[in-house]
């Protein structure tokens, strides 16, 4: 049972380049989320999705684009990367029927923008 | 908008001493509160949720609506408790994500 995976685990890119971070879950959870983790800020929600083809902005969506054509995948794209987007990115998923709304997190992708 | 405050960035205690990690929140509705933990080189995982009123690894947390707090407590700290702890809030209902505090780095000294 792979659970929730992210790829790549590490990425170095240059300012202005497009980067896509992948997230895949095997549980068929309806809800999926993207967070970024920065020192001094904790985790902040970028985008979330309630189901395939349904996405919504979180707290810090600027500079990011998401899509969800399939339930199990939720890619996050930085259309033109900036240094301020250097961060650790976490994907998470949650079941709709869960009694306690527990989110399950992926291992994270460490992105460096030079 | 909702907010979660963890006033301590770093908390260092000796093994066997009591631990209390503070969490305060602001939200006008009825929130769901969680504690997540991130051990070194591991992914973030759920530790406690207020709705279940459980004790996990000796930790407890009580939601105090009057003080808008959800402090995490353990009577006797163990070295394996060293980790990053995040308090998080979810607005009641809906598909939206969690609002996290900035986290407290707990170090248990031998």
pLDDT tens track for A58-113: 999 999 999 999 999 999 999 999 999 999 999 999 987 665 678 999 999 999 99
Mean pLDDT of B4-13: 96
Dump the DSSP string for B33-79: EEEEEE-TTS--EEEEEGGGT--BTTBEE--BTTTTB--EEESS--G
Q: Does A64 touch chain B (CB under 8 A)?
A: no
Torsion of CA A22, A74, A105, A95, to 10 degrees: -160
| Closest by Cβ to B95, choosing from A42, A50, A59 | A50
- pLDDT tens-digit series, residues B31-45: 889 999 999 989 999
- 3-class DSSP state of A39: coil
Cβ burial, residue B81 (10 Å; 0-12/13-18/19+) = buried
Stronger pLDDT, A99 or A23, i.e. the higher one: A23
Distances in whole angstroms, Cα of residue B105 to Cα of each of A63, A67, B10, B44: 30, 34, 5, 13
Residues of A in contact with B93 (CB under 8 A): none
Residues 12-51 of A with CB under 8 A from B: 30-31, 33, 35, 40-45, 48-50
pLDDT confidence tier of residue B52, bands split at 50, 70 and 90 = confident
Number of A:B CB contacts under 8 A? 57
What is the average pLDDT value for chain A, to the nearest integer? 93
Residues of B in contact with A92 (CB under 8 A): 44, 97
B86–A43 CB contact, under 8 Å: yes
Stronger pLDDT, A3 or A1, i.e. the higher one: A3
Q: How far apart are alpha carbons B7 and B12 in whole angstroms? A: 14
A12, pLDDT greater than 70 = yes
Can you name the residues that pair with B105 across neighbouring β-strands?
B10, B84
């Amino acid at each position: 049972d792979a659970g929730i995976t992210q790829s790549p685990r590490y990425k170095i890119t240059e300012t202005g380049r497009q980067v896509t971070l992948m997230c895949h879950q095997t549980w068929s959870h309806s809800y999926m989320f993207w967070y970024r983790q920065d020192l001094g800020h904790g985790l902040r929600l970028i985008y979330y999705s309630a189901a395939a083809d349904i996405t919504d902005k979180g707290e810090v969506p600027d500079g990011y684009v998401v899509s969800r054509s399939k339930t199990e995948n939720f890619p996050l794209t930085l259309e033109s990367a900036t240094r301020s987007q250097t961060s650790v990115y976490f994907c998470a998923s949650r079941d709709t029927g869960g009694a306690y709304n527990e989110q399950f997190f992926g291992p994270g992708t460490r992105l460096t923008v030079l | 908008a909702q907010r979660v405050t963890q006033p301590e960035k770093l908390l260092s205690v000796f093994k066997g001493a009591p631990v209390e990690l503070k969490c305060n929140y602001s939200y006008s509705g009825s929130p769901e509160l969680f504690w997540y933990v991130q051990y070194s080189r591991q992914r973030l995982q759920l530790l406690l949720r207020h709705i279940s009123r459980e004790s996990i690894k000796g930790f407890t947390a009580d939601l105090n609506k009057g003080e808008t707090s959800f402090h995490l407590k353990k009577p006797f700290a163990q070295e394996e408790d060293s980790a990053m702890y995040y308090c998080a809030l979810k607005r009641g209902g809906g598909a939206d994500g969690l609002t996290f505090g900035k986290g407290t780095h707990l170090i248990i000294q031998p």
